Structure 1
């Protein structure tokens, strides 16, 4: 173990001169930390030789801190060296899940930290080296390193209290259950090195030698409170909409927050996250339930699937506070080896614009009472996994202000429910095969016309390309009106007589065929 030696006056003077002119004795040219609020801590951890980049001049500031990496950093803070870790790696392994894994490089560090009782296993002689650390986990490790752990401390409550009382949460938006990223770890660790005294009054910089001499002063800026923006909005996307079944799969949920008509990045604002598997709350499987956006307005958390999630729709939601209220957006995923992917867009069929109050759901044809909701964004787009099978597709929307005629109109797949413009549309049953992707024909147009046929009777509207047929019911004033997918159609009566032919329907357009 290497301990700090007495510095000569000459060395101190030289270091001060170097740091005055350059800021750091050994600059580290990371290209991915500009505007990161913890940039200074990242550079200092690298200068001291505690943290290194991940290659290609990248630091990966938002990458997770896992238990293998935590063991190495903790070892450095206790004064251990690479030579110590290599020697410890030659001893009998304390845990059975290190050797032969991508984390075997940390074997010695893990042995050392287990012997020091700084890091402990997860049971059954396992260490779980790849598991991510929450903020409170790293606080616990630092509390032990700095000898502030006391017998009988309750976890996590007392350790969260230590984060505050020792000042380890300074400069951070601290939430104990949030997964700690590499930049946040750099911030908390530099605070521990420079600012926190052990019970004997010494700091880490007083007893441990690092690759470079510590700075004479270290300032920890307080983290700004999260901002609240007017006219804010968010978009939500997933790293994978479909992952293999069996549990243990990771899905990254990324939110981009904007504000104002120009959709500028909403930086340093709070995003809340929620997830359910069917009707079951799965929020506990998230790496964090809240995250703060970066300078680009982006925040991410991860979800780890359970075996119990298999073949159940996972509903992810994210929310942002704006204009005195929370707004949220949703998206779906599924852990399944037998899922298909559907996507499309829903528009107001009367004018082609984005519709309001849109709801989309799937009902299995063998269980039509079941309803699986699908999230639709503000522009009408949707994308979702679905278990292979046959489904009816149901759409609800409001088209107030765009209806060309008042009244209640009905058809085999369409209904205007009231004069307020509430509409219900059913799309012909479709069969989805596992592994395939499908674009749903949900961008529709409208056909209307009047006929002298009796009220309540029907006309049959056939697409000429494939004989796809929908029925329109004649209203009290002789008018009919329904939605149709784009194409060319003929209108028939109930005995097969063509009443009107060669009618072209375009999406987002009302085609009035007149009186016949």
Structure 2
């Protein structure tokens, strides 16, 4: 075969009945077809289309229910055996009285007859325009696979139909042997043949390639290779690692994220892809940790630390890079024949998609005419090639706005008059040189202007005031009004973005990131929302709550004391409180709250060593081990209460902090301490053995 030439492509049009069919034009390579709704048929058509065996119509359809003629199926058979480049040698001959040398399919019919794939009616006629029956098509396919009458049996078509069924060739085809074969059924039949071995035990698909790559995961059909070659197929194949292949024709999108056999021509270009039977699952990612991933429906998938992980076209292991899955929309799990996940891939990062920054052009490398990276607001940002046209209009010292892609690269630049970014975040470092963690996930820094008076933990708006300098202004009110409806995912009448980020804090304490499910009430009053911001689409993409979830406190056993400052008449003694838990004991925080030492509670602290809030936990004594449902919930006074992921557990006998599992193995009953109100927003924070 092994190269498809123009005649083979033209023959694909012929086999579809397009030549001579008024009003329909040849469509070379459709990645998918709007009228193929059955998943198995769609996959068959996609694979055969990528190999140039079938094609669709100019109306975007494949017409799966249309019947095929005997001449059309001859064309399919010749292409499916890889002999499309041999038809010219069979042209200009007349082997059947009704297939003259000028007949559009003569070369294919003649070649099929000379190879023993077909025969006529016995009266010198072939019947090119007669509908091909299922039995006739099955017979041709078995002959393509190398089976003879001696292998199959003397009765036709019964023995051939039985043999095809045994080999799995007719799976999904319910029509009888004498019924007309449809285009959809033809695709199913030929696809099953490609997936099978020949009569002599060789993989049929090997006939259609100069070489193959087995167990190849097709990660992209439009990748940029390491050497800059565009529109390549990116493939991961075990010990071969990641490889970029040029494509003779772009593989269909529907085959991306499948694992199977890659077909190559003599030049090493991809000519097709045959998916295998491996299970592949693509999940919308909700959470990832060292043990595995969780999808948006709450289903968890355990992953070994040694599992191969592909991120941003680089191979690593899950255990060494699982945390980099944050900000990615989907992950794809590839299962081995044994049923375990042996490969994980992830979509490109979306963490910074559409993020805009306005600041001064502080530095560039190597130069402004051909920038690889630029610096503004103390951030060094890589430059995507898409940004070059807009970015090269600016020079160091200019004020500009840049827009980032999901990976944090600059993809566009404009003047602040065209667009000015609203930059809001929390102060993470004070002093003359200060830093602010923006709610878009980036941390900007610079010399603070003298007019800015802020403390660590303050919610601020950032403005670039000059080269290397920033101005910070406190935000004391929320610009959006209305309550947060958790179930409806709205703030007032404004919808929440799919990737909305929430923080909770107590007064001026450090903010902690929380999830919507951490909010145990149906609504949050506007008075409990410190700040809410929107993205370019007008959706709420960041919310700062004021002591709503209880997650901003550090929980454990409170240890109290005093701290004396000054001397003589100026001497002042203040109360202090610290928290002891499984992580150790915190520093002593100054507090105006009177607390008895040994009390179980929580503390939220400010950056200057003071308490922003102190809470005492409610206690339920004598809780039996059986009241716990694993480590997720516990029944308290008839109410099922969630257990915090960060629950602190104390063995009162050994006076040590342990895990909940260890405590349940040690004791029969417990004192369970919770924040909030039973039946409303209660969460278990501390457990003590009895």
Q: Larger C-alpha radius of gyration, 1 or 2?
A: 2
TM bucket normalised to smaller: 0.3 to 0.5
TM-score by length of 1: 0.35
